[in-house]
Amino acid sequence: MLDIKQIRETPQIVQERLNSRSDYDIQPLMQLDQQIRELEGMRSQLQARSNEIGKLVGQKIKAGLNPQQPEIHSLREEGNQIKTQLSELEPQEKDLKAQLETLLLALPNLPSASTPIGESETENVEVNRWGDEYIPQNPDILPHWEIGESLGILNFERSVKVAQSRFVTLIGAGAALERALIQFMLDRQIAAGYVEVMPPILINTQSLTATGQLPKFAEESFKCADDDLWLAPTAEVPVTNLYRNEIIAAEELPIYHCAYTPCFRREAGSYGRDTRGLIRLHQFNKIELVKFVHPSTSEQEHQQLVQNAEAILQALQLPYRVIELCTGDLGFSSAKTYDLEVWLPSAGTYREISSCSNFMDFQARRGSIRFKEAGKKGTQFVHTLNGSGLAVGRTMAAILENYQQPNGTVRVPQALQSYLKRDVLTNGAS
């Protein structure tokens, strides 16, 4: 959530930065804010007069004036009128504040000053590439879903029977590879300083609102019919909300967490893209990295977060590139984002496998996550960051293609061999 004080004091700057993302009009919001401030001013004046009348009546009675005197009666009459006015102002002010909050919740984060200006993903900026020497030269590489089905480790057809399209069942070595990747990623991130948590994957509306998924992206999420609970779209939501409505001691910062969870998304806006394979499923596994940091270090922490995600791809020797998203392609809550895109040989292109974002104080303001420095008055909002470390299914897809052999087998990356207890995936492997 944006700071209403910032909008009030620098409306032109806020408007320009929002417009670099898309078309947003903050005038209705500013008009509501002005109305609220005027009502607050009226209420303050009326309350002051009411207090003054109470003191006057008390003083006059103490001085010996008969409580039934017209002067006392007149003052009390005025006091009753003020009480009536105040009772009428209160619901008006409450309604206007609710309208203002609704408008604020609908506004995305402001892009950081260093985020490239652009209208769409075509204007994203490539930062660097890694692992060109590992790009396979075999021109006959099968798409990962074909090699996976031929090896008997992925089954999409039976998953439709169990659920619907865009679900997969992992079998034998496929299930083992998924588990191996999860454990490998967790081990690496724990060694990098992240504390593992295993949060609930059913989460309430307030949690999704705090991180910015609601109200804007309700159609993207799966909601329980009979409870105020939703299936987590990413571990970012439950992990960030572990600290909602809390004040953290400054000396406890930074806080680093990693979490494995299944993730659930409707993919309502994908419009038929990636309908085959592991790239865009309704249910998938992911390792998430979440940071709570002091505002003065958030840029440095963001760079380190990206490196933590990159380290997984490098250990697996999977070719990738780093993309800095332009303003028009930023996620709703993000101020600055780097995407890691892994090379998929069958498509001849790079595909997103991790998105590493700095939200600054946007989520913390929505979720009231603050910190207090010893010896200083008041509190400040923390900065929150998160990134995938990594999306497990997409990592499996990249392995099945980049490590595919001409004889129809798939080599196991050396970093995973001790986890998987094998160095090659063959047909019928269990």
Among residues 355, 357, 388, 401, the one annotated as catalytic is 355
Among residues 17, 351, 366, 394, the one annotated as catalytic is 394
Are the C-beta atoms of residues 214 and 208 closer than 8 Å to each other? Answer: yes
Q: How far apart are CA 237 and CA 333, in angstroms?
A: 12
Among residues 352, 373, 411, 422, the one annotated as catalytic is 352
Q: How far apart are CA 249 and CA 247, in angstroms?
A: 7
Which residues have CB under 8 Å from 338's CB, separation 6+? 127, 302, 306, 322, 323, 324, 325, 355, 356
Structure tokens at 158: 């039976």
Closest CA relative to residue 132, chosen from 343, 338, 355, 322: 343
Are the C-beta atoms of residues 150 and 408 closer than 8 Å to each other? Answer: yes
Among residues 17, 166, 188, 265, the one annotated as catalytic is 265
Phi, psi of 34 (to 5 degrees): -65, -45
- Specify whether 422 is catalytic: no
- Specify whether 355 is catalytic: yes
Q: Hey, what amino acid is at 360?
A: M
Are the C-beta atoms of residues 265 and 220 closer than 8 Å to each other? Answer: yes
Are the C-beta atoms of residues 21 and 121 closer than 8 Å to each other? Answer: no
Among residues 17, 166, 188, 280, the one annotated as catalytic is 280
Are the C-beta atoms of residues 282 and 266 closer than 8 Å to each other? Answer: yes
- At 18, is the secondary structure helix, strand, or coil? helix
- Specify whether 43 is catalytic: no
Q: Which are the catalytic amino acids?
A: 265, 280, 352, 355, 394
